[in-house]
Amino acid sequence: MLPVTDPAAAAPFYQQLGLSVAGGDPEHELVLERPGFQLVLCRADKLEPDDGRPRFVMTVSIDVLEAVWARDTRDERTLPGPTLSSEGAFEYRTRDPSGNRVRLLAYLPADPGAG
């Protein structure tokens, strides 16, 4: 469960990450999912103070990660781009419409000629 100030307003952000609305009430709680994964956006009048850590981490394709970064840089051109994480994936940190920090990880496809 992820607290958000407005589930209906937050849903399009998470749909961009590849989740689909599976049910719920847009005013109070929305269930989003993709195969093997489910996220519940629940309305909160007030979010806990931001401690600098991501409240949500999700693996996405490199195309999705780049699309989110491109969207963010339209509003703020000086944002740092994706970086290579210690896990061997490209990482990008963004925020959802409620201000939750979201960490996106995009693993590159394995090189079939390696190994």
CATH number assigned to the domain comprising residue 84: 3.10.180.10
Interatomic CA distance for residues 103 and 86, integer angstroms: 14
Give the number of domains in the chain. 1
Residue 114 lies in a domain: no
Task: Tell me how far apart the alpha carbons of residues 23 and 37 are, in angstroms, rounded to a whole number.
Answer: 14
In a domain, 39, yes or no: yes
Is 93 part of any domain?
A: yes
Give domain status of residue 26, yes or no.
Answer: yes
pLDDT tens by residue, 21-78: 999 998 999 999 999 999 999 999 988 888 989 999 999 999 999 999 999 988 787 7
Contact 102, 56 (CB under 8 A): yes
Q: How far apart are the first and last CA of the chain?
A: 39
Q: Tell whether 113 is covered by a domain.
A: no
| 112, pLDDT greater than 60 | no
